[in-house]
Amino acid sequence: MKVLIPLLTLMAALTLPAARAETVTVYTSANFAPLVIDGTRGIYHEAIDYLNKQAPEGTSFRLAYLPRKRLQMRLEDGSLDGIVIGMMPQWFDDVAQKKYLWTTAFAIDRFVLVSRADKPLLPDAPRTLHGKSIGLTLGYVYPGIEEWIQRHGLVRQDAMSEEINLEKLRRGRIDCVAVSESAARYFMRLHALNGSLTLVDLPGRATERRFLVPLGRHDLYDKLSPIVKRMREDPQWLRMTSKYQ
């Protein structure tokens, strides 16, 4: 009995860290560069690497893709078993931040109107916009931009990703694209298109890429929030993402 008790105590001590360990699934509906590239690299993969280097012992993160509609449905019915990267409260009708827990932004982006330089479309010349086709991403919400599109009579054409829309524009199959500036500039650099496309800021607020945490996970939010808060100013993070600019 004297031998058994220390043995049981040792076994309990060895299994305790495993019981506390948690791998958090970080969901994204993004499937376009530079956020996600070939499913294995990109800004969001870099963000997961950064979190894993900074997270408390016993907590790790992994990135997983989930289509936007399924992501929204699982958030609304409370069945999402993880957190979400790269979103902002306006996209989930949560401006007051009462439905979910939101970190500060780890990146700032904005939407631009992209058109061919030989056939430029400019927001301040509304008469040239009516009837023109504009590429948007299927299932995505564009606060402020959708109203602007309707007001100026553009014809929405949805595709599965921003990259597909930009390729359609490059081939002359649509007239313009509403897209995040980071995606547009990465696409232009990748295909050596500087000077071939025109970028103009669209109305609406800048895109704040944040992490969304379900309300019931204050414990996880308390671990994640301080890491993200210092992320944008961290030279290590800036070096990790510089290759995508």
Q: Are residues 43 and 20 in the same domain?
A: yes
Whether 1 is covered by a domain: the verdict is no
Parent domain of 118: 111-201
Q: CATH number of the domain that 100 lies in?
A: 3.40.190.10
Residue 231 belongs to a domain: yes
Identify the DSSP state of 128: G
**Among 65, 87, 46, CA closest to 244:** 46
Could you tell me if residue 2 is inside a domain? Answer: no
Distance CA 179, CA 202 (A): 9
Residues 93 and 213 occupy one common structural domain:
yes
Question: Are residue 196 and residue 178 in the same domain, yes or no?
Answer: yes
Same domain, 19 and 92: yes
Token pair belonging to 1:
């009995």
Provide the Cα torsion 202, 208, 211, 214; round to 10°: -70
- Positive or negative: CA dihedral 230, 231, 233, 235: positive
Number of domains in the chain: 2
pLDDT above 90: percentage of residues in the chain? 78
Closest CA to 29 of 107, 110, 113, 141: 141
Look at residue 59 and tell me if it is in a domain.
Answer: yes
Domain check: are 118 and 161 in the same one?
A: yes
Other CB atoms within 10 Å distance of the CB of residue 51 = 24
Name which of 108, 104, 75 is nearest 211 in CA terms: 104
Q: Output the pTM of the full model.
A: 0.84
The string of pLDDT tens digits covering residues 68-126 is: 899 999 999 999 999 999 999 998 999 999 999 999 999 999 999 999 999 999 888 88
| Tokens 């301040």, located at residue | 124
Angle between helix 218-229 and helix 43-54 axes, rounded to 10 deg:
110
Higher per-residue pLDDT: 186 or 205: 186
Does 90 share its domain with 14?
Answer: yes
Give 156-179 pLDDT, tens digit per residue.
Answer: 999 988 999 999 999 999 999 999
Cα–Cα distance measured from residue 113 to residue 123, given in angstroms and rounded to the nearest whole number: 8
- Name the residue among 87, 89, 107 with its Cα closest to residue 98: 89
